[in-house]
Structure 1
């Protein structure tokens, strides 16, 4: 794992994007990261039926999801608005 990228322990449901939101920090820059319910369903055998279960599943897969986000950050694969989207 790249020590230059740190992840916040908080994760929450983002109503606007309908995704789980979490944050990373690289060289002092805050990076907003999001993962879709569909991606959570692909990664998990647990049901993802609403916002609460999405956050629970995210927490159970946090390490793997952070690795996916880290790869995107290292490859500078940001959305047009500077976010990391795992979809």
Structure 2
């Protein structure tokens, strides 16, 4: 794991946009890592949190790769696709 990238214990479920947002600290800056979860039909924040906790490692690993590749969107966020659930 890259020491300059640390994931903090913070998760937001942005209901109108159907997004899960977790956060990384990258060289002192807070970076939003966004997962579009509309297709998963998560009904509330509790379901979203349970889902994220189940796949946390996979999402953090993918976000770390994208951060290292500097794949930020125009808002300065990292957009993380859904993990393969197989």
TM-score, normalised to structure 2's length?
0.80
In the TM superposition, residue 60 of structure 1 has moved relative to its aligned partner by 1.1
Task: Tell me, in whole angstroms, the C-alpha distance in 2 between the residues paired with 1:74 and 1:16.
Answer: 29
- Residue 57 of structure 2 aligns with which residue? 63
Counterparts of 1:1-87 in structure 2 under 5 Å? 1-37=1-37, 49-51=42-44, 52-87=46-81
Cα deviation, residue 17, structure 1: 2.8
In 2, distance between residues paired with 1:27 and 1:16?
Answer: 30
CA distance in 2, matches of 1:72, 1:61: 17
**TM-score calculated relative to the size of structure 1:** 0.80
> Contact (CA 8 Å) 2:11, 2:21: kept in 1 or not?
yes
- The count of aligned residue pairs is 80
User: Deviating runs (4+, > 2 A) in structure 1?
Assistant: none
Deviations 1:58-80 (A, max 9, x none): 11111110001000100000111
